Every structure is written in structure tokens, then in C-alpha cells.
């Protein structure tokens, strides 16, 4: 694999889904910026995996809640690789519990990362992604079908899904496609915070009788980031093994 002139930024690139998207895009020929917030070791491991396979990547920490740090993330990518072609907005956090029992701290914490952080990232992407590029958001099946105890988290995902539809119309004249991927329960991932019984319940909802994997989601991201995905925009793509059917 040789370095390419195309570059992808993946926020939350040290996590389960994010790391697999990083590896997949690198195998597709992208230079990859592996963003992380706290897990430097995992981010560096992803970079090592990419480089050992012949790809090009570097890791960088940034607090996506802070405008200046998101700006610097893009500036560093542009300085190193000359531009940005794909941005995958994957960084996120979750809280669960009945709305009546959620605190303002719960609300503010989730919205700060999932709403504010995602907004700051896609705004910077809209400013800097090159013509014919891609902006992808890793959302959730819960944006469409909230479950008991997911009200705050589901709302953050639904908000950005709506924003992306508008953004797709704003940047479409530059050939930039903007889409959202809605995974179902995916392991390893946030679903691992659930009990075994709850995880089995999610698996039972799938037509394939299993939970999703990060590889499943990375495959969808790979297609949407490719030239073949250019006619799809403003869409929320279900990648949940039929769990929401």
C-alpha cells in the first residue's frame, strides 16, 4: 500500500467502531488521522496497525467540545497531508436511564460531545473538505427508534441526523456527499454496558440473530466514502442487521 493524496479524519478513532473505520479507510488507500480524546494508547495502536500494513496515519488528541481544538485538528491534517477529503464524525458518549431520573449534568455531558462536538466537527468539515469529498456521521438506530432509558442519547443522534440533511444541500454543489450511518447494537461497543440478557434481546431483533460488529459498520463507511457512494447524500443508512425492521 502506498500513500495517497486523499485523507480521512475519523473522530473517536480509538474506539471500537472508530478504530475499525480507520483501518478500513487506510486499506482503501486513505491517509488517516486517528483522533482520540483520552485513550492515547489505543489510538497509537491503530496507527501502528495501519503503518504495519503499509498505510499512512497519525494520531492526535482533541476535545471535540472545544472549538479551538477541533480547528487545530483540521489544521494539523491539512498541514501534514495537504487537505481533507473524508470526515467521519464518530466521537460520542452515552448515558442511560429514565428522563425523570437524569440530571442536568447527564444532559449537558452527552449533548456537549454528541451535539456540540459533532456540530463543531461537521462545521469544520463543511469549510475544509475538498470538492467531491464525503462527510459521514456515525449515528444510531436509537435516533429513529428510542428505547426505554435512551431519551437523551437518542435525541442527540436525531439532532445531528437532521442537521446533516440540511448540510447535504449546502455542500452538494461541490460534489460533497453527506450521510449518516445508523448502527444497531454493536459489540464491542456501547452495547457492552448492557446486561447479557439485554444484549441477547438486541441480537434476537436482528434477522441474522447476532449483534453487529465494528467491521460491519466500517464496510458501510468504506462504501459511502468511496467514489461509488457519490450519488447517495442526505440519507440515514440503517446498518443494523434488520434490528429496526
Angle at 185 between CA 118 and CA 99, to 5 degrees: 65
Question: pLDDT tens track of the chain, all 245 residues?
Answer: 344 589 999 999 999 999 999 999 999 999 999 999 999 999 999 999 999 999 999 999 999 999 999 999 999 999 999 999 999 999 999 888 899 999 999 999 999 999 999 999 999 999 999 999 999 999 998 888 888 888 999 999 999 999 999 999 999 999 999 999 999 888 887 777 778 888 888 888 889 999 889 999 999 999 999 999 999 999 999 999 988 87
- Assigned domain for 2 exists: no
Range of the domain at 207: 7-237
| DSSP annotation of 141 | G
Identify the CATH number of the domain in which residue 217 sits: 3.40.50.720
Give the three cell numbers for residue 3.
500513500
DSSP H helix total and E strand total for the chain: 8, 7
Burial class of residue 159 (count of CB atoms within 10 Å of its CB; 0-12, 13-18, 19+): middle
CA distances from 56 to 5, 34, 179, 190 (A): 11, 11, 25, 28
- Assigned domain for 164 exists: yes
Angle between the 16-27 and 214-225 helix axes, to the nearest 10 degrees?
A: 40
- Assigned domain for 242 exists: no
For residue 1, the model assigns a pLDDT of: 37
- Assigned domain for 199 exists: yes
d(CA 49, CA 56): 10
d(CA 236, CA 245): 14
Domain count along the chain: 1
**Cβ contacts of 47-50, under 8 Å, gap ≥ 24:** 49/23, 50/22, 50/23, 50/26
| DSSP annotation of 15 | S
The residues that are catalytic are 139-140, 153, 157
Bridge-based pairing state of the strands 84-89 and 57-61: unpaired
- Assigned domain for 194 exists: yes
d(CA 166, CA 162): 7
- Assigned domain for 243 exists: no
For residue 2, the model assigns a pLDDT of: 40
d(CA 164, CA 132): 16
For residue 4, the model assigns a pLDDT of: 58
Closest by CA to 183, choosing from 209, 151, 225, 221, is 221
Q: Evaluate the omega torsion of the peptide bond into residue 188 and state whether it is cis, within 30 degrees of 0.
A: yes
For residue 54, the model assigns a pLDDT of: 96
End-to-end CA distance of the chain: 39
Whole-model pTM: value is: 0.93
- Assigned domain for 1 exists: no
Amino acid at each position: 500500500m502506498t500513500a495517497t493524496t486523499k485523507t480521512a479524519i475519523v473522530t473517536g478513532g480509538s474506539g471500537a467502531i472508530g478504530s475499525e473505520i480507520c483501518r478500513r479507510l487506510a486499506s482503501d488507500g486513505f491517509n488517516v488521522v486517528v483522533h482520540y480524546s483520552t485513550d492515547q494508547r489505543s489510538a497509537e495502536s491503530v496507527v501502528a496497525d495501519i503503518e504495519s500494513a503499509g498505510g499512512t496515519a497519525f494520531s492526535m488528541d482533541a476535545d471535540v467540545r472545544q472549538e479551538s481544538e477541533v480547528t487545530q485538528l483540521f489544521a494539523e491534517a491539512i498541514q501534514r497531508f495537504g487537505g481533507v477529503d473524508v470526515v467521519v464524525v464518530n466521537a460520542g458518549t452515552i448515558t442511560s436511564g429514565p428522563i425523570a431520573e437524569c440530571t442536568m449534568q447527564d444532559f449537558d455531558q452527552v449533548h456537549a460531545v454528541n451535539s456540540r462536538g459533532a456540530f463543531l466537527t461537521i462545521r469544520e468539515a463543511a469549510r475544509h473538505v475538498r470538492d467531491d469529498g464525503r462527510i459521514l456521521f456515525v449515528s444510531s438506530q436509537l435516533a429513529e427508534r428510542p428505547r426505554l432509558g435512551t431519551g437523551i442519547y437518542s435525541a442527540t443522534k436525531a439532532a445531528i441526523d437532521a442537521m446533516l440533511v440540511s448540510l447535504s444541500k449546502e455542500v452538494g454543489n461541490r460534489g460533497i456527499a453527506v450521510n449518516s450511518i445508523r448502527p444497531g447494537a454493536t459489540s464491542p461497543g456501547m452495547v457492552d454496558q448492557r446486561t447479557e440478557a439485554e444484549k441477547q434481546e438486541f441480537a434476537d431483533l436482528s434477522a441474522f440473530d447476532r449483534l453487529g460488529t465494528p467491521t460491519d459498520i466500517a464496510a458501510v463507511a468504506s462504501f459511502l466514502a468511496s467514489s461509488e457512494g457519490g450519488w447517495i447524500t442526505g440519507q440515514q443508512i440503517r446498518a443494523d442487521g434488520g434490528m429496526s425492521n
